[in-house]
Amino acid sequence: MRPFNEELYNFLKQFTIFKTLEKHEMEPIVEIAGSKVYRTGSIVFLQDEPITDVYFIQEGKINIYKTDLEGKEQIVNVLQKDDMFPHQGFFRKGNYPANAEVLEEATLVNIPILSFENFILNNPQISIKVFHVLSGIIIDLQKRLEEKMMYTVSDQILLLLLRLAKKNGEQIDDDHYRLTIQLTNSQLANMIGSSRETISRTLTQLRKESIVSTDKAGYLHINCTAIEDKVLQ
Protein backbone atom coordinates (compact mmCIF):
# COMPACT_ATOMS: atom_id res chain seq x y z
CA MET A 1 0.00 0.00 0.00
CA ARG A 2 1.34 3.43 -0.93
CA PRO A 3 2.01 6.00 1.86
CA PHE A 4 -0.92 8.22 2.79
CA ASN A 5 -0.81 11.42 0.69
CA GLU A 6 -1.32 14.24 3.20
CA GLU A 7 -1.12 16.95 0.53
CA LEU A 8 -3.83 15.32 -1.57
CA TYR A 9 -5.96 14.85 1.55
CA ASN A 10 -5.70 18.57 2.41
CA PHE A 11 -6.59 19.51 -1.17
CA LEU A 12 -9.69 17.30 -1.40
CA LYS A 13 -10.86 18.16 2.12
CA GLN A 14 -11.58 21.77 1.13
CA PHE A 15 -14.36 20.77 -1.30
CA THR A 16 -17.89 21.02 0.00
CA ILE A 17 -18.57 17.43 -0.99
CA PHE A 18 -15.89 16.23 1.46
CA LYS A 19 -15.79 19.06 4.00
CA THR A 20 -17.83 17.30 6.70
CA LEU A 21 -15.91 14.02 6.47
CA GLU A 22 -13.46 13.01 9.17
CA LYS A 23 -9.89 12.13 8.25
CA HIS A 24 -10.46 8.39 8.66
CA GLU A 25 -13.49 8.70 6.35
CA MET A 26 -11.37 10.50 3.75
CA GLU A 27 -8.50 8.01 3.75
CA PRO A 28 -10.15 5.51 1.33
CA ILE A 29 -11.03 8.39 -1.02
CA VAL A 30 -7.44 9.66 -1.06
CA GLU A 31 -6.28 6.10 -1.79
CA ILE A 32 -8.40 5.82 -4.97
CA ALA A 33 -7.59 9.34 -6.25
CA GLY A 34 -5.09 9.98 -9.04
CA SER A 35 -3.36 13.09 -10.38
CA LYS A 36 -2.28 14.18 -13.88
CA VAL A 37 -0.97 17.30 -15.64
CA TYR A 38 -2.87 18.33 -18.81
CA ARG A 39 -1.37 20.68 -21.41
CA THR A 40 -3.25 23.69 -22.78
CA GLY A 41 -5.66 22.65 -25.52
CA SER A 42 -5.89 19.03 -24.46
CA ILE A 43 -9.25 17.33 -23.95
CA VAL A 44 -10.11 15.86 -20.55
CA PHE A 45 -13.25 14.18 -21.87
CA LEU A 46 -15.72 14.57 -24.72
CA GLN A 47 -19.47 15.07 -24.64
CA ASP A 48 -21.33 11.72 -24.78
CA GLU A 49 -18.29 9.67 -23.71
CA PRO A 50 -19.08 7.25 -20.84
CA ILE A 51 -18.66 8.91 -17.45
CA THR A 52 -15.74 7.30 -15.65
CA ASP A 53 -14.22 9.94 -13.35
CA VAL A 54 -14.91 13.15 -11.46
CA TYR A 55 -12.14 15.78 -11.59
CA PHE A 56 -10.83 18.39 -9.13
CA ILE A 57 -8.68 21.30 -10.34
CA GLN A 58 -5.45 21.88 -8.41
CA GLU A 59 -4.08 24.32 -11.00
CA GLY A 60 -5.21 25.69 -14.35
CA LYS A 61 -8.48 26.50 -16.12
CA ILE A 62 -11.00 24.24 -17.85
CA ASN A 63 -13.57 25.18 -20.49
CA ILE A 64 -16.83 23.22 -20.24
CA TYR A 65 -18.87 23.46 -23.45
CA LYS A 66 -21.60 21.64 -25.33
CA THR A 67 -21.78 20.92 -29.06
CA ASP A 68 -25.13 20.67 -30.86
CA LEU A 69 -25.97 18.58 -33.92
CA GLU A 70 -24.83 21.40 -36.22
CA GLY A 71 -21.46 21.63 -34.52
CA LYS A 72 -22.19 24.92 -32.77
CA GLU A 73 -20.49 25.30 -29.39
CA GLN A 74 -22.09 26.75 -26.27
CA ILE A 75 -19.88 27.43 -23.28
CA VAL A 76 -21.47 26.12 -20.10
CA ASN A 77 -18.81 27.25 -17.65
CA VAL A 78 -15.16 28.20 -17.24
CA LEU A 79 -13.69 26.41 -14.23
CA GLN A 80 -10.49 27.15 -12.33
CA LYS A 81 -8.44 26.15 -9.30
CA ASP A 82 -10.51 24.48 -6.55
CA ASP A 83 -13.48 23.65 -8.82
CA MET A 84 -14.79 20.12 -9.42
CA PHE A 85 -16.46 18.73 -12.55
CA PRO A 86 -18.79 17.27 -13.61
CA HIS A 87 -20.67 18.07 -10.40
CA GLN A 88 -23.27 15.37 -10.93
CA GLY A 89 -20.67 12.80 -11.96
CA PHE A 90 -20.87 10.73 -8.79
CA PHE A 91 -24.66 10.48 -9.11
CA ARG A 92 -25.18 10.28 -12.88
CA LYS A 93 -25.23 7.20 -15.05
CA GLY A 94 -24.45 7.34 -18.75
CA ASN A 95 -22.32 9.85 -20.60
CA TYR A 96 -20.58 13.16 -19.95
CA PRO A 97 -23.08 15.97 -20.67
CA ALA A 98 -20.44 18.31 -22.13
CA ASN A 99 -16.86 18.60 -23.37
CA ALA A 100 -13.97 19.56 -21.09
CA GLU A 101 -10.99 21.33 -22.68
CA VAL A 102 -7.91 22.74 -20.93
CA LEU A 103 -7.67 26.54 -21.31
CA GLU A 104 -4.49 26.82 -19.23
CA GLU A 105 -2.14 23.98 -18.29
CA ALA A 106 -3.90 22.14 -15.50
CA THR A 107 -3.18 19.68 -12.73
CA LEU A 108 -6.27 17.58 -12.18
CA VAL A 109 -7.07 15.10 -9.43
CA ASN A 110 -9.46 12.38 -10.58
CA ILE A 111 -11.61 9.97 -8.58
CA PRO A 112 -12.96 6.92 -10.45
CA ILE A 113 -16.72 6.76 -10.06
CA LEU A 114 -16.98 2.99 -9.69
CA SER A 115 -14.42 3.00 -6.88
CA PHE A 116 -16.25 5.88 -5.20
CA GLU A 117 -19.59 4.07 -5.49
CA ASN A 118 -18.14 1.02 -3.80
CA PHE A 119 -16.87 3.27 -1.02
CA ILE A 120 -20.34 4.85 -0.58
CA LEU A 121 -22.03 1.44 -0.50
CA ASN A 122 -19.75 0.42 2.33
CA ASN A 123 -20.25 3.76 4.14
CA PRO A 124 -23.93 4.78 3.66
CA GLN A 125 -23.78 7.49 6.35
CA ILE A 126 -21.38 9.43 4.16
CA SER A 127 -23.79 9.55 1.22
CA ILE A 128 -26.03 12.03 3.06
CA LYS A 129 -23.12 14.40 3.58
CA VAL A 130 -22.10 14.07 -0.07
CA PHE A 131 -25.56 14.93 -1.45
CA HIS A 132 -25.45 18.41 0.12
CA VAL A 133 -23.05 19.63 -2.57
CA LEU A 134 -25.80 19.40 -5.19
CA SER A 135 -28.01 22.09 -3.67
CA GLY A 136 -25.76 24.98 -4.68
CA ILE A 137 -25.58 23.73 -8.26
CA ILE A 138 -29.35 23.49 -8.53
CA ILE A 139 -29.75 27.04 -7.21
CA ASP A 140 -27.26 28.34 -9.80
CA LEU A 141 -29.15 26.62 -12.63
CA GLN A 142 -32.43 28.09 -11.39
CA LYS A 143 -30.93 31.58 -11.36
CA ARG A 144 -29.70 31.21 -14.95
CA LEU A 145 -33.13 30.04 -16.10
CA GLU A 146 -34.75 33.01 -14.36
CA GLU A 147 -32.32 35.37 -16.10
CA LYS A 148 -33.36 33.99 -19.51
CA MET A 149 -37.03 34.53 -18.69
CA MET A 150 -36.97 37.83 -16.80
CA TYR A 151 -34.19 39.93 -18.34
CA THR A 152 -33.50 41.51 -21.72
CA VAL A 153 -30.48 40.29 -23.70
CA SER A 154 -28.54 43.40 -22.65
CA ASP A 155 -29.24 42.71 -19.00
CA GLN A 156 -28.34 39.03 -19.45
CA ILE A 157 -24.94 40.17 -20.77
CA LEU A 158 -24.48 42.41 -17.73
CA LEU A 159 -25.38 39.55 -15.39
CA LEU A 160 -22.99 37.26 -17.25
CA LEU A 161 -20.15 39.77 -16.80
CA LEU A 162 -21.02 40.08 -13.12
CA ARG A 163 -21.00 36.31 -12.67
CA LEU A 164 -17.68 35.95 -14.52
CA ALA A 165 -16.10 38.73 -12.46
CA LYS A 166 -17.08 37.14 -9.16
CA LYS A 167 -16.19 33.59 -10.32
CA ASN A 168 -13.20 34.15 -12.62
CA GLY A 169 -11.89 37.53 -11.55
CA GLU A 170 -9.64 39.21 -9.06
CA GLN A 171 -10.87 42.20 -7.09
CA ILE A 172 -8.98 45.43 -7.77
CA ASP A 173 -10.92 47.78 -5.51
CA ASP A 174 -14.37 48.06 -3.94
CA ASP A 175 -16.05 48.37 -7.34
CA HIS A 176 -13.83 46.76 -9.95
CA TYR A 177 -12.78 43.22 -10.86
CA ARG A 178 -10.27 42.07 -13.47
CA LEU A 179 -11.11 38.86 -15.32
CA THR A 180 -8.31 36.32 -15.10
CA ILE A 181 -9.41 34.59 -18.31
CA GLN A 182 -9.69 35.96 -21.84
CA LEU A 183 -12.94 35.19 -23.67
CA THR A 184 -13.84 36.16 -27.23
CA ASN A 185 -17.13 37.84 -28.07
CA SER A 186 -18.25 34.58 -29.65
CA GLN A 187 -17.51 32.66 -26.44
CA LEU A 188 -19.42 35.22 -24.37
CA ALA A 189 -22.33 34.99 -26.81
CA ASN A 190 -22.37 31.19 -26.57
CA MET A 191 -22.68 31.38 -22.79
CA ILE A 192 -26.10 33.03 -23.00
CA GLY A 193 -27.27 31.92 -26.43
CA SER A 194 -26.81 35.35 -28.02
CA SER A 195 -24.82 36.54 -31.05
CA ARG A 196 -21.27 37.87 -31.36
CA GLU A 197 -22.60 41.10 -32.86
CA THR A 198 -24.92 41.71 -29.90
CA ILE A 199 -22.05 41.16 -27.46
CA SER A 200 -19.82 43.53 -29.46
CA ARG A 201 -22.45 46.30 -29.51
CA THR A 202 -23.19 45.90 -25.81
CA LEU A 203 -19.51 45.96 -24.79
CA THR A 204 -18.96 49.07 -26.91
CA GLN A 205 -21.80 50.81 -25.07
CA LEU A 206 -20.53 49.61 -21.68
CA ARG A 207 -17.09 51.01 -22.45
CA LYS A 208 -18.69 54.39 -23.19
CA GLU A 209 -20.42 54.18 -19.80
CA SER A 210 -17.12 53.20 -18.10
CA ILE A 211 -18.65 49.94 -16.90
CA VAL A 212 -16.06 47.81 -18.67
CA SER A 213 -12.56 48.46 -20.01
CA THR A 214 -9.71 46.37 -21.38
CA ASP A 215 -6.15 46.55 -20.06
CA LYS A 216 -2.96 46.34 -22.15
CA ALA A 217 -2.82 42.56 -21.68
CA GLY A 218 -6.32 42.18 -23.12
CA TYR A 219 -8.15 41.35 -19.88
CA LEU A 220 -11.57 42.84 -19.14
CA HIS A 221 -12.02 45.13 -16.14
CA ILE A 222 -15.60 45.19 -14.87
CA ASN A 223 -17.31 47.70 -12.61
CA CYS A 224 -19.49 45.29 -10.66
CA THR A 225 -21.07 47.98 -8.51
CA ALA A 226 -22.27 49.80 -11.63
CA ILE A 227 -23.74 46.59 -13.04
CA GLU A 228 -25.55 45.83 -9.79
CA ASP A 229 -26.95 49.35 -9.70
CA LYS A 230 -28.01 49.08 -13.36
CA VAL A 231 -29.66 45.65 -13.29
CA LEU A 232 -30.32 44.38 -9.79
CA GLN A 233 -31.84 47.44 -8.14
Q: Looking at the predicted structure, is the pLDDT value of residue 79 above 80?
A: yes
Q: Are residues 112 and 132 in the same domain?
A: yes
Q: Are residues 169 and 199 in the same domain?
A: yes
The predicted structure's pLDDT at residue 137? 63
CA distance 55 to 127: 18
Q: Looking at the predicted structure, is the pLDDT value of residue 168 above 80?
A: yes
How large is the average pLDDT for residues 13-18? 83
Q: Looking at the predicted structure, is the pLDDT value of residue 144 above 80?
A: no
Element of type H or E holding 196? helix 196-208
How large is the average pLDDT for residues 181-210? 88
Write out the residue range of the structural domain in which residue 222 sits: 151-232
* CB 179, CB 220: distance < 8 Å: yes
The predicted structure's pLDDT at residue 141? 67
Q: Are residues 215 and 178 in the same domain?
A: yes
The predicted structure's pLDDT at residue 33? 94
CATH, residue 100: 2.60.120.10
pTM over 0.85: no
- For residue 127, the tally of other CB atoms under 10 A from its CB is 14
More confident: 3 or 5: 5
Q: Are residues 15 and 113 in the same domain?
A: yes
Q: Are residues 88 and 161 in the same domain?
A: no
Closest to 66 measured CA to CA, from 169, 191, 228, 174? 191
Q: Looking at the predicted structure, is the pLDDT value of residue 49 above 90?
A: yes
Among residues 96, 113, 140, the one where a domain terminates is 140
Among residues 91, 115, 140, the one where a domain terminates is 140
CA angle at 200 for the pair 205 and 186, rounded to the nearest 5°: 150
CA distance 71 to 165: 28
Beta strands in 53-98 (DSSP E): 53-67, 73-79, 84-85
The predicted structure's pLDDT at residue 99? 94
Q: Are residues 88 and 202 in the same domain?
A: no
Residue 145 maps to a domain: no
The predicted structure's pLDDT at residue 161? 93
